[in-house]
Amino acid sequence: MSDLITATAVELSAAMAAGETTSAEITRAHLDRIAAVDGDLHAYLHVNADEALAAAADVDARRAAGRELPELAGVPIAVKDSIVTENQVTTCGSRMLEGWVPPYDATVVAKLRAAGLPILGKTNMDEFAMGSSTEFSAFGPTRNPWDRDRIPGGSGGGSAAAVAAYAAPLALGSDTGGSIRQPASVTGTIGVKPTYGSVSRYGLIAMASSLDQVGPCSRTVTDAALLHDLIAGHDPRDSTSLPDAPHAYATAARAGANGDLSGVCVGIVRELAGAGYAPDVQARFEESVALMEDAGAHVVEVACPSFEAALAAYYLIMPSEASSNLAKFDGMRFGLRVEPAEGPVTAERVMAATRGAGFGPEVKRRIVLGTYALSAGYYDAYYGSAQRVRTLVQRDLDAAFGRVDVIVSPTNPTTAFRFGEKVDDPMAMYLNDIATIPANLAGVPALSLPNGRDSDGLPTGFQLIGPARGETNLYTYAAALEARLAGAWGGTPLLTHVPMNSMNPTNPMDPMNTEANR
């Protein structure tokens, strides 16, 4: 097989099964790719070359011995640094955990290892998953492969950029208010937030426990579905884990790839359009809706009036939960410990000094905001009201799904913005999540897929939202739209059009440095 780094996970799997290549070759090719581009991209915080190659050799040996293997066995993967990995540094993008080596694997990581996916490394992220741009990583930002002066989205910008730049065929992310889907949207990749509770959170460093969810990042819908099949399922170590339910997301995606949406009723959310949405984003969205109609879908408008308050509710609930979850970073049992410069060295003063030195500006901002929202006198007006808005969001979605099979919107109001553009304006940054947040508040699944480019050539994203446990249909519909979009683009995924700022302009073998891609 000639092109190991631009192939999809499905193609890599088939090539290994046919004996055309090995996991060792594929893994080495991706490690070489990381070495070539990541100095510029900074998608990875840690690269685990030796362990990845050992895992690849192990799966190759099992295949050679005739063992039956999962479909993704041997396909390498990148893991967001908010997900703990035994014997591999996990920092969550924070100085607070710099150098920390977890003593256990997250359940999703254990599943990857058991299925034989070599873990290439840990990807960059906004500190403790707080941000929409990966500018708040304590270890420096990740660049967007489409334009290195622009953000790759956040908080999972590292995972999305790694997949977009062919530095990993697959990645795991975590999504609290859009941190898988928004980076997918601005990097031209696929990102999925599963139904809350359907993928274990055991070993995910919690930001806001009622909102966080682990999910897949990929370059095609079927690749995402395959990875999702692998990580989903009940986990007795996660008390919020749903009981096991049969699922076959990859089968659903493959069924959808025929591009037929006959009989599907699609709802356009009235409140996720108009002012604030860039004209090109809106235009690409409307073109995609037209493609769904061409595929046989019936399109109607749905009203979700509570969505207008969802952003405010989210920015009360999320920091409130974060202020509680991050209390564990106190300099006592793991991570950083800083002693006060003056005065007595008591536990309380060490905690304050450690947290003052170890947390970055966005984390401090959200902890203080959460402390305010939960404090006496404000609790009912802020936190209590936010939780009631959450009820309204769930009711609006329930009513909508009584009429339609799937809800669609642009994933983000804009394409990737430039570094620094919103870093001093927190509300402008927070507004970027306006279309992704409702799914987290309600716990329903949502998927972003690339649906075109703006006038600057930057990717736009299209979001599909389904009812709880509705991933199967979501994958079918997304694959159908993906097939229609690929037809409109000339039969190739959007990422093969990555045209801008080749990541390695001196290398004529770079797949993003071909004549067709310039």
Partner 1 sequence: MPTINPDEVARLADLARIDLTQDETARLAAELDVIVAAVATVSEAVSGDVPATSHPLPLSNVFRDDVVGPTLDPEVVLAQAPAAAEGRFAVPQILGEDA
The answer to whether residue 23 is catalytic is no
CB 81 within 8 A of CB 175: no
In the set 35, 54, 303, 381, which binds partner 1 (CB under 8 A)? 381
Minimum Å gap between C-beta 443 and partner 1 is 2
The number of beta carbons lying within 10 Å of the beta carbon of residue 490 is 8
Say whether residue 367 binds partner 1 (CB under 8 A). yes
**Residues 405-434: x where in contact with partner 1 by CB under 8 A, - otherwise, as a string:** ---------------------xx--x----
User: Is 196:162 a contact under the CB 8 Å cutoff?
Assistant: no
Cα 313 to Cα 292: distance, rounded to the nearest angstrom: 32
Which region among 147-155, 380-388, 413-421, 499-507 touches partner 1 (by CB under 8 A)? 380-388
Active-site residue identified among 82, 94, 133, 155: 155
Work out how close the CB of 508 gets to partner 1 at its nearest, in angstroms, rounded to a whole number.
45
13, 94, 159, 179: the catalytic one is 179
Q: Does residue 236 interact with partner 1 by CB under 8 A?
A: yes
The footprint of partner 1 on residues 133-172 (CB under 8 A) is none
Residue 83 CB, nearest approach to partner 1 (Å) = 17
325-354 positions binding partner 1, by CB under 8 A: 327, 330-337, 339-340, 344-353
Task: For the CB of residue 139, give the shortest distance to partner 1 in the complex, in Å.
Answer: 19
Q: Are 279 and 418 in contact (CB under 8 A)?
A: no
| Closest approach of partner 1 to the CB of residue 157, in Å | 22
303 binds partner 1 (CB under 8 A): no
CA pair distance 118, 104, nearest whole angstrom: 17
How far apart CA 369 and CA 365 sit, in angstroms, is: 6
Spatial CB neighbours of 398, under 8 Å, sequence gap ≥ 6: 467
Which residues, 6 or more positions from 162, have their beta carbon under 8 angstroms from its beta carbon? 34, 41, 43, 44, 78, 120, 123, 168, 171
In angstroms, rounded to a whole number, what is the distance separating the alpha carbons of residues 467 and 246? 16
* Residue 44 or 430 with smaller CB distance to partner 1: 430
Main-chain dihedrals φ then ψ at residue 264, nearest 5 degrees: -90, 130
CB neighbour list of residue 352: distance below 8 Å, 6 or more residues apart: 340
- Member of 39, 258, 286, 371 binding partner 1 (CB under 8 A): 371
| Region 205-234 residues binding partner 1, contact defined as CB under 8 A | 210
Task: Name the 3-class secondary structure at 345.
Answer: coil
Q: How far does Cα 56 stand from its chain's mean position?
A: 25
Q: Which of 387, 501, 513, 517 is close enough to bind partner 1 by CB under 8 A?
A: 387
CB 303 within 8 A of CB 392: no
Q: Which of residues 91-110 bind partner 1 (CB under 8 A)?
A: 100-104
Q: Is 80 a catalytic residue?
A: yes
Which residue in 140, 356, 420, 487 binds partner 1 (CB under 8 A)?
356
Which residues, 6+ apart, have CB-to-CB distance to 201 below 8 Å? Answer: 209, 212, 213, 214, 238, 240, 241
Q: Which of 414, 489, 511, 422 is nearest to 455 (CA)?
A: 414
Residues in the interface with partner 1 (CB under 8 A) total 75
Q: Which of residues 25-44 bind partner 1 (CB under 8 A)?
A: none
Element spanning 79, H or E: strand 77-80
Interacting residue with partner 1 among 146, 196, 285, 401 (CB under 8 A): 196
Of 174, 19, 166, 51, nearest to 118 (Cα)?
Answer: 51
Instruction: Work out how close the CB of 389 gets to partner 1 at its nearest, in angstroms, rounded to a whole number.
Output: 5
Q: 433 to 462, contacts with partner 1 by CB under 8 A?
A: 441-444
Our finding on whether 308 is near partner 1 (CB under 8 A) is yes
364 noted as active-site residue: no
Q: Could you tell me the smallest distance in angstroms from the CB atom of residue 398 to partner 1?
A: 12
Name the residue nearer to partner 1 (CB basis): 298 or 469: 469
Which are the catalytic amino acids? 80, 155, 179
